[in-house]
Amino acid sequence: MNENDNLLPYKDHFLYNILNPKSIAVFGANNNLLETMGSMQLRNIIAGGGLTGNIYPIHPRLENVQGIKAYKSVLDLPITPDLAFLILPTTAVPTVMEECGQKGVKNLLITSGGFREIGLEGIKLSQQVDSIAKKYKMRFIGPNCLGMYNGWYRYPDIKNAYLNTLWMYKTPERGNISIVSQSGTIATQLSWYANDLGIKIGKSISVGNEANIDITDFLDYFQKDPLTEVIGLYIEEIKRGKEFIRLAKDIVPQKPIIAIYAGGTEASTRSIMSHTGSIAGNQRIYDSVFKETGIIQTDSILDFLYLLRTFSFAQKYNIYPEGKKVAIISDSGGAGSMMTKSLELNGLEVPEFSRELKSKFLDKIPSTASANNPIDVTFHDDFFGLIYKFPEILIKSGEINSVIVYGIYDFDEIIEMVETSGIKVDESFKQIKNVIPRTVLKPIKRLMQKYSVPVFYVGPLPYRFTWNRLIIDNEIPLFSMWDQPPRCLAALTNYSLVYKKKE
Amino acid sequence: MNENDNLLPYKDHFLYNILNPKSIAVFGANNNLLETMGSMQLRNIIAGGGLTGNIYPIHPRLENVQGIKAYKSVLDLPITPDLAFLILPTTAVPTVMEECGQKGVKNLLITSGGFREIGLEGIKLSQQVDSIAKKYKMRFIGPNCLGMYNGWYRYPDIKNAYLNTLWMYKTPERGNISIVSQSGTIATQLSWYANDLGIKIGKSISVGNEANIDITDFLDYFQKDPLTEVIGLYIEEIKRGKEFIRLAKDIVPQKPIIAIYAGGTEASTRSIMSHTGSIAGNQRIYDSVFKETGIIQTDSILDFLYLLRTFSFAQKYNIYPEGKKVAIISDSGGAGSMMTKSLELNGLEVPEFSRELKSKFLDKIPSTASANNPIDVTFHDDFFGLIYKFPEILIKSGEINSVIVYGIYDFDEIIEMVETSGIKVDESFKQIKNVIPRTVLKPIKRLMQKYSVPVFYVGPLPYRFTWNRLIIDNEIPLFSMWDQPPRCLAALTNYSLVYKKKE
């Protein structure tokens, strides 16, 4: 993202102020981080850095909360806060909202649950909340939500701050993905996996019951937001169907949308009813909405994460395959065969190479190996061949549209094992780690961009291994295990052929 | 596994001697662990411990390989080795086999590739190998394979040894799972994931081209082997269809079989042809074989791993659900709803609880929470409730057949974060980690066994976290992320209802 992009247009959106308040009043936090949810949430706001000096805990008894002067009521505040954040017992919400209204607060975030999702009594309270909001012209996210993570808090005016009102203290690295979710978990608990996999999330919002602000509002905002290039949705119910469809159709060609729809079966509908009070609909209705809009649908949380990462990469570097032809280079016949099958079942092709292209590999692989597609290099010690030279030949061949490379890209453990066995490891081998960003990772990304051919690296080692971290940190798509690459490549290719590149 | 089990019957099987040789001759190893595949394989045999003093490297020039006296020819050996292990250029194989035959060697492991998988010339060599084997009445695994991992090497006579002829230096923890695979990768490169997930593999054999010994031989062996309780197969081709089907039908009711079939599409068939030279068949033929035998089929490597772990657990502790009714307890409405949907799509039920059962939860969860199934406990600080007391109530209720618990089971990171924020964490909270094996993990497993109700724990944290490791080490099914638990529970329930428990 270029900082000079004109960020102004979307700053006029009413959600900009909610996601980027200059001051915040927090109701329901104390000093007990482990037992009071709001306390952890206040801690996370403080940790974000950007609001220092502008955080106002409101507490009936405490003079000081987590080192910050507290006030008995919002009415006592020296300023009118941009955002009021309520993590209070349900019944306290209307009174506090009234006071916020009197103080002139226009935006709220209501974490408190116990509204329509619990039945009649909650519905009444919900109506009360709605009418107070109407009276004071207030907008609010929630109730029954966790709030938001905004990794780009007041960017570019403030460079390294974030706003995290979620309970989760762990934040993802920021990037071009924006998530809006009717589940707090999907908005928040993905952070560990996100960081392991290198999924960079710029915004993640838990919208809860959507009594006032809904997913469709966020779609509208994300469309205008230059920092959003990929959108993730977790849906239990779409409230404004027509607007949602119209907007999504408009957005998808520029910004791919990945969605989970959790309803559609008998018990899941009951589960959703008691979760956010939503009335989930028939799966076929949602299927047709997704089809009509071009939204990519999945029921799997791992698919969701990997698809977000795949499109985040494709969008950021503008690397979209121009056709369905995939080349596989593998030092494993088994993983190669499984991926080949999966690619075909997902509608892609693994074509034989031309005689000319095959001949380019024959002197580079063992005599027992195969230069068909997949290229099975069997056991070999040509690390740079597998990771760079072979993909380069394929990319430049013009015969294929994307490449999957299967192998082992981390040798720290092997080096340690060999040395433990009392055998000396050549220093140059140990140094590969230090040179691959310059000699392999950056050049291969340049090739991918130049030819618009994505290269996916796949292997059996965990993401946490040091060399693997290097690949992830350099934003090269690395997959631990081989279920995901064919699925992600199929989704990417399908999207590309409809919206980006014509075959 | 009780050591007093009668291990004798299966010791008569010809494969017992191949998997448990008392001495081994290794052709093709030197001192270069990183560039010669056989060197790493010798290193791994040495590391296994059980064969110390009985390993004989054969090398034309070296006097000493990896610290062990080497011989110029197998004919020079002071003894006749139980097993000859060939990691040699293809053309050297017949000569060496001849010499082995003359020496009286009866069993071989041939890693060398370059046989039928490369075409006509290889087929000729393969025929030569076959006729030498026939002449000397030799049996061999391979060619074009990686060999074997036997975690139970000569058990119980030798307690802590293993035999690992694979290239992979990383071995899984041993257990009741036995894998036989036509892919070296699936036999070997699963170790990292296996250890992360707590998948305990007792044996893993790469059979390559199956010129002499095939998957069906291993099925026969695993059927008799008391150390094998679950079987994993990676299949590119079944050579002896009738025998395979007859055996599998016989085995499945006692020992569940999970299989990957990698053929069935156009390019995957080509890929397989150049991998092991197998002729893969139509997917529908394999579908009907799997259906007829009761083999559980998957195209996903992660499903394969998780299914192996699920059945390994069920077999070891004899915990099989007696019906399709699943209870979910969750502190996340979203993950709970997604799992509910997936359970239903996989044929299981998430029924509403009786009024009586619901009432048992109402005073234990927040007023905003739901005691329907799923029980959504929302935010709460009752760790022992979520992890033990609630499952206990459900298990004893008689209303459900299995339980899924979603939550966070690791607090080291939170404790560190809170203390970094300058807030004291109660010592008793920190000590939970030390008491949960005794107060939670062992008791819940006893309950699972007594009532035959499996409890699956699911959460968003990575397996590497300390408390999570505790759960895994105590052999409680823990899932990081929530795609797998419904699929595994469905497979387990279906198997159980056909072969173990009648509804």
pLDDT digits (tens, 9 = 90+) for B40-49: 999 999 999 9
Asked whether the beta carbons of residue A460 and residue B425 sit closer than 8 angstroms, the reply is no
Please give the mean pLDDT across all residues of chain B.
Answer: 92
Asked if residue B503 has pLDDT above 60, the reply is: no
Asked whether the beta carbons of residue B267 and residue A344 sit closer than 8 angstroms, the reply is yes
Residue A71 pairs with which residues in a beta bridge?
A58
Instruction: From chain A, pick out residues whose CB is under 8 angstroms from the CB of B45.
Output: none
Asked whether the beta carbons of residue B425 and residue A196 sit closer than 8 angstroms, the reply is no
Confidence of residue B364 (pLDDT cuts 50, 70, 90): confident
Residue B178 pairs with which residues in a beta bridge?
B203, B231
Residue B1's pLDDT is: 46
The contacts of residue B349 (CB under 8 Å, 6+ apart) are A267, B324, B325, B326, B343
The contacts of residue B135 (CB under 8 Å, 6+ apart) are B101
Any alpha helices (H) in A254-297, and if so which ranges? 266-276, 283-293
Q: In whole angstroms, what is the distance from residue A207 CA to residue A237 CA?
A: 12
- Dihedral angle, C-alpha B159, B165, B167, B171, nearest 10 °: -20
Q: In whole angstroms, what is the distance from residue B272 CA to residue B290 CA?
A: 20
The contacts of residue A435 (CB under 8 Å, 6+ apart) are none
Residue A368's pLDDT is: 66
Asked whether the beta carbons of residue A483 and residue B236 sit closer than 8 angstroms, the reply is no
Return the minimum-mean-pLDDT range out of B221-235, B360-374, B405-419, B432-446: B360-374
Asked whether the beta carbons of residue A268 and residue B333 sit closer than 8 angstroms, the reply is no
Say whether A370 sits in a helix, a strand or coil: strand
On whether any CB of chain A is under 8 Å from the CB of B270, the answer is yes
A137: left (phi over 0), alpha (psi -120 to 50) or beta: left
pLDDT digits (tens, 9 = 90+) for A402-420: 999 999 989 999 899 888 8
With contact defined as beta carbons under 8 Å apart, do A270 and B371 qualify? Answer: no
Instruction: From chain A, pick out residues whose CB is under 8 angstroms from the CB of B413.
Output: 170
Q: In whole angstroms, what is the distance from residue B325 CA to residue B349 CA?
A: 5
Query: For residue B295, which phi and psi values (nearest 5 degrees)?
Result: -70, 135
Identity of the residue in A169, A265, A341 whose CB atom sits nearest the CB atom of B299 = A341
Contacts of B295-298 spanning 24+ positions with Cβ under 8 A: B295/B233, B295/B248, B295/B252, B295/B257, B295/B258, B295/B259, B296/B256, B296/B257, B296/B258, B296/B259, B296/B491, B296/B495, B297/B258, B297/B259, B297/B260, B297/B261, B298/B258, B298/B259, B298/B260
| pTM, 2 dp | 0.95
Asked whether the beta carbons of residue A340 and residue B193 sit closer than 8 angstroms, the reply is no
Letter for the amino acid at A323?
G
Nearest-CA distance from B392 to chain A in Å?
A: 22
Residue B184's pLDDT is: 86
Instruction: From chain A, pick out residues whose CB is under 8 angstroms from the CB of B64.
Output: none
Nearest to A489 by CA among A338, A359, A348: A348
Residue B72's pLDDT is: 97
State CA A210 to chain mean position distance: 21
Token reading at B256: 């569940």
On whether any CB of chain A is under 8 Å from the CB of B346, the answer is no
Residue A216 pairs with which residues in a beta bridge?
none
Token reading at A459: 């292997």
pLDDT digits (tens, 9 = 90+) for B55-88: 999 999 999 999 999 999 999 999 999 999 999 9
Nearest to B411 by CA among B392, B424, B425: B425
State the DSSP H helix or E strand holding residue B64, giving kind and residue range, or none if neither: strand B64-65
Domains B8-312 and B318-500 share a fold: yes
Q: In whole angstroms, what is the distance from residue A111 CA to residue A141 CA?
A: 8
Query: For residue B337, which phi and psi values (nearest 5 degrees)?
Result: -65, -40
With contact defined as beta carbons under 8 Å apart, do B497 and B325 qualify? Answer: no
Asked whether the beta carbons of residue A37 and residue B379 sit closer than 8 angstroms, the reply is yes
Asked whether the beta carbons of residue B189 and residue A118 sit closer than 8 angstroms, the reply is no
Confidence of residue B370 (pLDDT cuts 50, 70, 90): confident
CATH architecture of A319-500: 3-Layer(aba) Sandwich (3.40)
Among chain B residues, the shortest Cα distance to A260 is held by B338
**Interface-testing mutation among B167, B300, B341, B430, with chain A (most A C-beta atoms within 10 A):** B341
On whether any CB of chain B is under 8 Å from the CB of A22, the answer is no
Write out residues in chain A with pLDDT < 70, as ranges.
1-9, 275-276, 278-280, 367-369, 378-381, 502-503
Token reading at A399: 């015969």
B154: left (phi over 0), alpha (psi -120 to 50) or beta: left
With contact defined as beta carbons under 8 Å apart, do A390 and A453 qualify? Answer: no
Return the percent helix, strand and coil in chain A, to nearest 5: 45, 15, 40
Please give the order of strands across the beta sheet that includes A402-406.
A375-376, A326-330, A402-406, A455-459, A478-480
Return the percent helix, strand and coil in chain B, to nearest 5: 45, 15, 40
Q: In whole angstroms, what is the distance from residue B444 CA to residue B433 CA?
A: 16
On whether any CB of chain A is under 8 Å from the CB of B466, the answer is no
Hey, where are the domains in chain A?
8-312, 319-500
**Interface-testing mutation among A65, A112, A236, A271, with chain B (most B C-beta atoms within 10 A):** A271
Identity of the residue in B185, B341, B352 whose CB atom sits nearest the CB atom of A299 = B341
- What is the percentage of chain A residues whose pLDDT exceeds 90? 73
Instruction: From chain B, pick out residues whose CB is under 8 angstroms from the CB of A189.
Output: 332, 335, 460
State the DSSP H helix or E strand holding residue A150, giving kind and residue range, or none if neither: strand A147-150
Token reading at B482: 């929530």
Token reading at B307: 């299914």
With contact defined as beta carbons under 8 Å apart, do A258 and A307 qualify? Answer: yes
B470: left (phi over 0), alpha (psi -120 to 50) or beta: alpha
Among chain B residues, the shortest Cα distance to A459 is held by B189
Q: In whole angstroms, what is the distance from residue A480 CA to residue B193 CA?
A: 9
Residue B4's pLDDT is: 46
Asked whether the beta carbons of residue B372 and residue A271 sit closer than 8 angstroms, the reply is yes
Reported CATH class of domain B318-500:
alpha beta
Got the DSSP string for A167-189? S----PPP-SEEEEESSHHHHHT
Q: Which of residues 154-213 of A touch B (CB under 8 A)?
A: 167, 169-170, 181-186, 189-190, 192-193, 196
Confidence of residue B462 (pLDDT cuts 50, 70, 90): very high
Burial of A336 (0-12, 13-18, 19+ CB in 10 A): buried
Residue B219's pLDDT is: 98
Selected residue with higher pLDDT from B18 and A367: B18
Rg of chain B taking only CA atoms, in angstroms? 26
CATH architecture of B8-312: 3-Layer(aba) Sandwich (3.40)
**Interface-testing mutation among A341, A420, A425, A483, with chain B (most B C-beta atoms within 10 A):** A341
Token reading at B498: 């056909």
Nearest-CA distance from A3 to chain B in Å?
A: 32
Nearest-CA distance from A271 to chain B in Å?
A: 6
Burial of A90 (0-12, 13-18, 19+ CB in 10 A): buried
Q: What is the DSSP letter of B477?
A: -
Selected residue with higher pLDDT from B354 and B118: B354
Confidence of residue B493 (pLDDT cuts 50, 70, 90): very high
Letter for the amino acid at A167?
W
Residue A270's pLDDT is: 77
Nearest to A34 by CA among B102, B402, B324, B414: B414
On whether any CB of chain B is under 8 Å from the CB of A254, the answer is no
Nearest-CA distance from B46 to chain A in Å?
A: 10
Contacts of A384-389 spanning 24+ positions with Cβ under 8 A: A384/A439, A384/A440, A386/A329, A386/A331, A387/A436, A387/A440, A387/A444, A387/A457, A388/A439, A388/A440, A388/A443, A388/A444, A389/A364
With contact defined as beta carbons under 8 Å apart, do A136 and A171 qualify? Answer: no
Asked whether the beta carbons of residue A482 and residue B423 sit closer than 8 angstroms, the reply is no
Asked whether the beta carbons of residue B333 and residue A274 sit closer than 8 angstroms, the reply is yes
Residue A264's pLDDT is: 82
Token reading at B50: 């059980």
Nearest to B186 by CA among B32, B303, B338, B348: B303
Q: In whole angstroms, what is the distance from residue B287 CA to residue A32 CA?
A: 57
A-to-B residue pairs, Cβ atoms closer than 8 angstroms: 258
Length of chain B equals 503
With contact defined as beta carbons under 8 Å apart, do B432 and B351 qualify? Answer: no
Contacts of B475-478 spanning 24+ positions with Cβ under 8 A: B475/B198, B475/B313, B475/B316, B475/B317, B475/B445, B476/B441, B476/B444, B476/B445, B477/B309, B477/B310, B477/B313, B478/B198, B478/B409
Q: In whole angstroms, what is the distance from residue B166 CA to residue B169 CA?
A: 7
pLDDT digits (tens, 9 = 90+) for A459-502: 999 999 999 999 999 999 999 999 999 999 999 999 999 999 76
Residue burial A405-437, b: 16+ Cβ < 10 Å; e: rest: bbbbbbbebbbebbeebeeebeeebeebeeebe
Asked whether the beta carbons of residue B169 and residue A482 sit closer than 8 angstroms, the reply is no
The contacts of residue B61 (CB under 8 Å, 6+ apart) are none
On whether any CB of chain B is under 8 Å from the CB of A372, the answer is yes
Residue B424's pLDDT is: 85
Q: Which of residues 481-500 of A touch B (CB under 8 A)?
A: 481-483
Asked whether the beta carbons of residue A185 and residue B334 sit closer than 8 angstroms, the reply is yes
On whether any CB of chain B is under 8 Å from the CB of A418, the answer is yes
Q: Tokens 């009786």 — which residue?
A: B354
Asked if residue B389 has pLDDT above 90, the reply is: yes
State the DSSP H helix or E strand holding residue A15, giving kind and residue range, or none if neither: helix A14-19
Nearest-CA distance from A44 to chain B in Å?
A: 10
Nearest-CA distance from B9 to chain A in Å?
A: 33
Among chain A residues, the shortest Cα distance to B376 is held by A275
Asked whether the beta carbons of residue A352 and residue B186 sit closer than 8 angstroms, the reply is no
Q: What is the DSSP letter of A423?
A: -
Instruction: From chain B, pick out residues whose CB is under 8 angstroms from the CB of A374.
Output: 271
Asked whether the beta carbons of residue A90 and residue B114 sit closer than 8 angstroms, the reply is no
